[in-house]
């Protein structure tokens, strides 16, 4: 790495982006591609051939030898299978080939990806299809082609396809509304997303010594260190040299890949950091976030670090999440969540705001399910992250405006002159909505909504699919009413007023961490589902299936498959964690405790021969022995409970939640108590102090 980074030169240098296409494609091919991307129509094969040829030449010049269809199966991470460009030339030599057909369609041997029952093993083939709206790029000598992944019967097997469908859907419905406001120039409404990514960095050598970190990504044992994050001395603090070298390297790689990495800083917990990109369209943001997570892991390894993306690597220390900033903009660059200056703009803003609020209220359970993962269960509702109750924070001024619309009174802006009324019915809105509430799961921050419930390791696809689809649903209902109205202004006012009135219960500006809010939310009838096991079944309620199917995001079969995979994933993670605990407790912790106790006993015998006092040793022996009994009982109890796992995915989830987790907690308590009493040199793995204050 050279010392001076010429960022504008390297930015996007490994991406086959629009400017490269413009430069390298015959003009008509470029224009056809551009039209296909804008209108969503199919690319003719002869054009695909041109693009494939240009891509190949460009990739080979950049040193690539292989290409891969890159896809996002329902595991939530990405998958790839690399083919080289070589083709025999007949004389013992090869030429480099890549056809339009290879670009457009692939058939990875993908029988081991979860399909939620969508594919019988006898027809295990999966196909990939190029997504021409997302740029190809080069990593490690391979040309990566972003693709959708589907079964031989055409069912989607990935996270990208439904995301693209939901973006189309919200665009279509939003356009109907825009047309009603006299907008004839917008051709497309774009979902904009910026995903802030939190992560931990640990020294590789320490990580390698802990089986729990290696197998599960989090510590399953560990007594609290003498120092936690009470001094707040890490948050936004100076960045360690080693970490800053990592960050610089990571930024360079991300920039080369065209990822708009913008902000980096230390987070609240020791060893915790954050990276925020500049927002893009949701599809690009989703690809970019997957790339970011992959680059973080790889880059950390190069710096002898390990990047932990787990939601809760350490008990008692803040976990990691992702903030998903979401908004809608026109292809002409207008943000539809920007309160405007003119009455017309404000009326439009209030329509989109009302639709959003109604959608979140009606589909709060669905939104909750999109962030329900075993790892995230440690965060949501645990007084460090947003609560498991979904609510919307809009700030004081917007709240006052909504109130005045509901009550039919004039809105008086604090310290500003009274504002009167838009299209004669709606008020002008001052643009001061700085976010003063960090405890809200879903906050309006000026011109976008920030969904803060996502786990750090998850794909951002599902929450955005849900946001887009509920928005499409409400906008479509609004458009149905408004398109029929004789008096547009009155109908608009009535609609906005009715919507705010009916859905005001979802608005909350207080402390989301407090117990009072839990009680208040229950009074308001909001759902509070604090765990994955409990909340997941609501994913497939009739209402939610109906929404997804009606908007063509998923077929019922596709949607149910997601549910099955989601639940299976939870069960698998829980099983691995529980078995890892048994393994570590039995083979590492128990032997360490026994060794130390035996040495204490030897010491006592030796001291007794000398007539020396040994109260301390005797006391420790008694305590160690008692705690060892508890540990052993804990191991046996966990083993027994694991052996009685019920059949059926939902039953198993509930069983993990109700029966297995309490046993895991008991076992951990016993082990952590032993750790506190044991001579450090006996302890089998690095402690919290070692890991967090290296």
In the complex, which residues of this chain contact Mg ion (CB under 5 A)?
323
CA 31 to mean position of chain CA atoms? 35
Cα within 13 Å of Cα(609), Cβ side: 5
Looking at beta carbons only, is 72 or 391 nearer to Mg ion?
391
> Which partner in ligand ADP, Mg ion, none is near 448 (CB below 5 to 8 A by kind)?
ligand ADP
Looking at beta carbons only, is 125 or 262 nearer to ligand ADP?
262
> Which partner in Mg ion, ligand ADP, none is near 500 (CB below 5 to 8 A by kind)?
none
The 3-state DSSP class for residue 285 equals helix
Query: Which of 318, 327, 376, 469: binder of ligand ADP (CB under 6 A)?
Result: 327
Site for ligand ADP in 469-508 (CB under 6 A): none
Taking CB under 6 A as the binding criterion, the range among 53-61, 71-79, 275-283, 485-493 that sits at the site for ligand ADP is 275-283
Q: Which two tokens stand for residue 305?
A: 């670090």
Closest by Cα among 367, 354, 436, 463 to 401:
354
Task: Provide the minimum distance between the beta carbon of 395 and Mg ion in the complex, in angstroms, as a whole number.
Answer: 15
Query: Which of 269, 271, 276, 582: binder of ligand ADP (CB under 6 A)?
Result: 276
Task: Provide the minimum distance between the beta carbon of 261 and ligand ADP in the complex, in angstroms, as a whole number.
Answer: 10
> Which partner in Mg ion, ligand ADP, none is near 452 (CB below 5 to 8 A by kind)?
none
Task: Provide the minimum distance between the beta carbon of 465 and ligand ADP in the complex, in angstroms, as a whole number.
Answer: 16
Extract the runs of DSSP E, i.e. beta strands, from 204-268. 261-266
Pairing of the two strands 126-130 and 105-106: antiparallel
Query: Which of 71, 149, 221, 279: binder of ligand ADP (CB under 6 A)?
Result: 279
Query: Which of 218, 448, 493, 562: binder of ligand ADP (CB under 6 A)?
Result: 448
Query: Which of 17, 447, 511, 689: binder of ligand ADP (CB under 6 A)?
Result: 447
CB 459 within 8 A of CB 159: yes
Task: Provide the minimum distance between the beta carbon of 324 and ligand ADP in the complex, in angstroms, as a whole number.
Answer: 9
Q: Which two tokens stand for residue 227?
A: 């120092």
The 3-state DSSP class for residue 610 equals helix
Give one DSSP letter per residue of 160-202, joined into a string: HHHHHHHHHHHHHHHHHHHHHTT--S---EEEEEEEEEEEEEE
Q: Where are the alpha helices (DSSP H) in 644-677?
A: 649-655, 661-677
Taking CB under 6 A as the binding criterion, the range among 32-40, 188-196, 236-244, 555-563 that sits at the site for ligand ADP is 188-196
Looking at beta carbons only, is 94 or 278 nearer to ligand ADP?
278
Looking at beta carbons only, is 183 or 435 nearer to Mg ion?
435
Q: Which two tokens stand for residue 614?
A: 């040994």
Closest by Cα among 175, 168, 474, 169 to 334:
175
Query: Which of 194, 222, 258, 381: binder of ligand ADP (CB under 6 A)?
Result: 194
The set of residues, in sequence order, having a beta carbon less than 8 Å from that of 451 and lying 6+ positions away, is 323, 324, 325, 326, 367, 441, 442, 463, 467
Region of residue 421 (left: phi > 0; alpha: psi -120 to 50; beta: else): left
Binding mask 59-98 for ligand ADP (x = CB under 6 A): ----------------------------------------
What CA–CA distance (Å, rounded) separates 251 from 226?
34
Give the CA distances from residue 622 to residues 223, 226, 631, in Å, rounded to whole numbers and listed in that order. 20, 25, 14
What CA–CA distance (Å, rounded) separates 551 from 167?
11
Closest by Cα among 27, 103, 56 to 35:
27
> Does residue number 322 form part of the binding site for ligand ADP (CB under 6 A)?
no
Looking at beta carbons only, is 261 or 376 nearer to ligand ADP?
261
Give one DSSP letter per residue of 563-604, joined into a string: HHHHHHHHHHHHHHHHHHHHHHIIIIIHHHHHHHHHHHHHHH
CB 38 within 8 A of CB 156: no
What CA–CA distance (Å, rounded) separates 154 from 131?
15
> Which partner in Mg ion, ligand ADP, none is near 563 (CB below 5 to 8 A by kind)?
none
Q: Which two tokens stand for residue 374?
A: 């075993």
Site for ligand ADP in 588-627 (CB under 6 A): none
Task: Provide the minimum distance between the beta carbon of 389 and ligand ADP in the complex, in angstroms, as a whole number.
Answer: 21
Task: Provide the minimum distance between the beta carbon of 335 and ligand ADP in the complex, in angstroms, as a whole number.
Answer: 5
Task: Provide the minimum distance between the beta carbon of 464 and ligand ADP in the complex, in angstroms, as a whole number.
Answer: 11
What CA–CA distance (Å, rounded) separates 629 from 590?
10
Task: Provide the minimum distance between the beta carbon of 260 and ligand ADP in the complex, in angstroms, as a whole number.
Answer: 8
> Which partner in ligand ADP, Mg ion, none is near 194 (CB below 5 to 8 A by kind)?
ligand ADP
Binding mask 335-374 for ligand ADP (x = CB under 6 A): x---------------------------------------
Looking at beta carbons only, is 323 or 379 nearer to Mg ion?
323
> Which partner in ligand ADP, Mg ion, none is near 278 (CB below 5 to 8 A by kind)?
ligand ADP
> Which partner in ligand ADP, Mg ion, none is near 198 (CB below 5 to 8 A by kind)?
none
> Which partner in Mg ion, ligand ADP, none is near 402 (CB below 5 to 8 A by kind)?
none
Query: Which of 12, 108, 116, 277: binder of ligand ADP (CB under 6 A)?
Result: 277
Query: Which of 192, 351, 593, 692: binder of ligand ADP (CB under 6 A)?
Result: 192
Q: Which two tokens stand for residue 568?
A: 């299976």
CB 464 within 8 A of CB 327: no
What CA–CA distance (Å, rounded) separates 74 from 322?
19
Task: Provide the minimum distance between the beta carbon of 349 and ligand ADP in the complex, in angstroms, as a whole number.
Answer: 13
> Which partner in ligand ADP, Mg ion, none is near 327 (CB below 5 to 8 A by kind)?
ligand ADP
> Does residue number 325 form part of the binding site for ligand ADP (CB under 6 A)?
yes
Task: Provide the minimum distance between the beta carbon of 665 and ligand ADP in the complex, in angstroms, as a whole number.
Answer: 34
Give the CA distances from residue 121 to residues 6, 371, 561, in Å, rounded to whole numbers and listed in that order. 50, 29, 15
CB 248 within 8 A of CB 608: no
Question: Which residues are at the interface with ligand ADP (CB under 6 A)?
Answer: 192-194, 196, 276-279, 325-327, 335, 447-448
């Amino acid at each position: 790495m050279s010392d001076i980074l010429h960022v504008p030169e390297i930015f996007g240098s490994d991406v086959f982006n629009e400017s490269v296409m413009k430069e390298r494609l015959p003009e008509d091919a470029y224009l056809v591609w551009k039209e296909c991307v804008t209108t969503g129509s199919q690319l003719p094969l002869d054009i695909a051939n041109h693009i494939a040829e240009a891509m190949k030449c460009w990739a080979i010049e950049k040193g690539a030898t292989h290409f891969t269809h890159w896809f996002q199966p329902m595991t939530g991470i990405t998958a790839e299978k690399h083919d080289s460009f070589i083709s025999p030339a007949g004389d013992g030599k090869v030429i480099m080939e890549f056809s339009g057909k290879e670009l457009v369609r692939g058939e990875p041997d993908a029988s081991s990806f979860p399909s939620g029952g969508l594919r019988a093993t006898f027809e295990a083939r999966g196909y990939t299809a190029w997504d021409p709206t997302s740029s190809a790029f080069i990593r490690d000598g391979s040309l990566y082609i972003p693709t959708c992944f589907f079964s031989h019967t055409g069912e989607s097997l990935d996270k990208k396809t439904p995301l693209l469908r939901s973006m189309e859907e919200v665009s279509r419905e939003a356009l109907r509304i825009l047309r009603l406001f006299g907008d004839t120039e917008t051709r497309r409404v774009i979902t904009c997303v910026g995903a802030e990514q939190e992560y931990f960095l640990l020294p590789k050598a320490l990580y390698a010594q802990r089986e729990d970190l290696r197998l599960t990504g989090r510590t399953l044992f560990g007594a609290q260190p003498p120092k936690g994050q009470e001094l707040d001395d890490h948050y936004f603090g100076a960045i360690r040299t080693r970490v800053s070298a990592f960050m610089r390297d990571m930024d360079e790689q991300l920039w080369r890949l065209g990822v708009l990495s913008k902000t980096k800083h230390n987070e609240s917990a020791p060893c915790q950091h954050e990276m925020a990109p500049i927002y893009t369209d949701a599809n690009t943001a989703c690809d970019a976030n997957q790339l970011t997570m992959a680059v973080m892991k790889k880059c950390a390894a190069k710096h002898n670090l390990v990047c932990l993306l787990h939601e809760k690597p350490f008990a008692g220390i803040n976990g990691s999440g992702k903030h998903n900033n979401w908004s809608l903009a026109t292809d002409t660059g207008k943000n539809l969540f920007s309160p405007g200056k003119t009455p017309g703009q404000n009326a439009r803003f209030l329509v989109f705001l009302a639709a959003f609020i109604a959608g979140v209220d009606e589909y709060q359970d669905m939104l909750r399910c999109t962030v329900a993962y075993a790892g995230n269960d440690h965060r949501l509702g645990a007084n460090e992250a947003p609560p498991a109750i979904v609510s919307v924070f809009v700030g004081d001024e917007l709240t006052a405006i909504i109130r005045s619309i509901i009550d039919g009174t004039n809105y008086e802006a604090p310290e500003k002159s009274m504002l009167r009324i838009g299209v004669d019915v709606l008020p002008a809105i001052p643009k001061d909505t700085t976010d003063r509430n960090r405890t809200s799961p879903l906050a309006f921050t000026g011109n976008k909504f920030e969904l803060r419930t996502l786990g750090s390791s998850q794909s951002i696809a599902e929450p955005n699919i849900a946001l887009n689809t509920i928005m499409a649903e409400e906008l479509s209902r609004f458009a149905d009413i408004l398109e029929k109205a004789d008096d547009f202004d009155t109908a608009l006012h009535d609609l906005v007023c009715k919507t705010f009135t009916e859905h005001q219960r979802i608005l909350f500006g207080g402390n989301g961490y407090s117990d009072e809010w839990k009680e208040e939310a229950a009074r308001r009838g909001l759902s509070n589902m604090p765990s994955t096991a409990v909340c997941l079944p609501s994913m497939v309620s009739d209402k939610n299936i109906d929404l997804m199917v009606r908007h063509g995001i998923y077929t019922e079969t596709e949607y149910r498959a997601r549910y099955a995979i989601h639940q299976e994933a939870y069960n698998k993670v829980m099983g691995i964690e529980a078995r890892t605990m048994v393994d570590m407790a039995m083979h590492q912790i128990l032997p360490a405790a026994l060794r130390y106790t035996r040495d204490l006993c030897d010491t006592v015998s030796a001291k007794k021969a000398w007539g020396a006092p040994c109260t301390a040793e005797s006391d420790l022996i008694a305590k160690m022995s008692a705690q060892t009994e508890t540990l052993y009982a804990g191991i046996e109890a966990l083993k027994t409970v694991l052996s009685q796992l019920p059949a059926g995915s939902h039953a198993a989830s509930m069983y993990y939640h109700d029966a297995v987790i309490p046993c895991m907690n008991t076992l951990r308590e016993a082990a952590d108590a032993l750790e506190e009493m044991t001579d450090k040199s006996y302890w089998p793995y690095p402690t919290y102090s070692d890991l967090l204050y290296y």
